Amino acid sequence: MEEPELPVLLVDEVGGLLGVLEAHLPFLKKHFHLITMKEFLENKACLSIKVEAIYMWWHRPVIDHELLKSLPNLKVVASSGVGVDHLDLKLIAGFGVRMANTPHAVCSSTADIGVALLLAAARRLVEGCQVATSPDTEYFPCNMLGDDVTGATLGIIGMGSIGYKIALRARAFEMKILYHNRNRRKEDEELAVSACYCGKIEDLLQQSDFVMLAVSLTPQTYKLIGKKELELMKPTATLINISRGSVVDQDALVEALQTGVIKGTALDVTYPEPLPRDHPLLKLRNVILTPHLGSRTHKTTYMITEEAVENILAALHGLPMPSEVFSD
């Protein structure tokens, strides 16, 4: 008896800098017949009716009206990662296509990178590495002092799954934790991490030694941190962003860093990514930049693919998706 034909899954490409990781191929091919955008475009007439699902790996392929119109049997789009600001949710839903992201897979590793950036900024690790490895270094300066993390106040803006895991990690450093969130956490959740809720973001900014951004990018959070908010922070404070670059007004941030309004920043996200090579953020000594490393570990990327596959298979069988995203 012949085995049933596998559903066709469209991906942007395989391997290279931006493609689905080759290590994930055996798992994907166990469940789907995989085709790339190049293969699709070369044989569009035949393949258009066969594609039932799209797996977006780091925002690719781009889901636009033209692509959706060319895929009459498309049932689901699964996007890697938690953010969906790159998707036109109403457009996709208008074609009767369901959507999913992978929020569960990315929480721990993204929280880890947030704490790593906090520690790196506080203890001047990047600058210290440069001194230690420079061919001109003859001695280590004894006045190269960092900031204590233990006992410092951490303000978390966005206390979702990632923000809460950051709070759990910060408790190990005996940090005082403040948080601002659209909805207040339950009392037992607050007690578990000794977190204090700030109904006004201004209160959190004024009290925090480190401000951690872990919000989704929405119209409400676009440039959430601007000139006014930066001026509320302590001049000794550090801003850490692991959410989306557009949550911060970068022009205002550059000015604040240049004029000493805040002490420093550590960013895993910017806009655009990467920044133009002449951008002022690349020239400031009180800036740490990483290339959107949040969920990029071997284990987490595989978990992302597993979660995406779980969602796709559920959609293809008409079942509830564990991580469905809705347009409203």
d(CA 63, CA 51): 14
Mark 262-298 as b/e (b = at least 16 C-beta within 10 Å). Answer: bbbbbbbbbeeeebeeeebbeebebbbbbebbbbbbe
Around Cβ 186, how many Cβ atoms within 10 Å? 9
User: Annotated catalytic residue: which of 273, 296, 298, 324?
Assistant: 273
Backbone angles phi, psi at 312, to 5 degrees: -65, -45
d(CA 297, CA 308): 16
User: Annotated catalytic residue: which of 60, 244, 307, 310?
Assistant: 244
Closest CA to 269 of 297, 249, 291: 291
User: Is 124 in the active site?
Assistant: no
Residues near 118 by beta carbon (within 8 Å), at least 6 away in sequence: 149, 154, 210, 212, 238, 240, 266
d(CA 13, CA 40): 11
User: Is 244 in the active site?
Assistant: yes
> Contact, 263 vs 238, CB < 8 A?
yes
Residues with catalytic function: 244, 273, 292
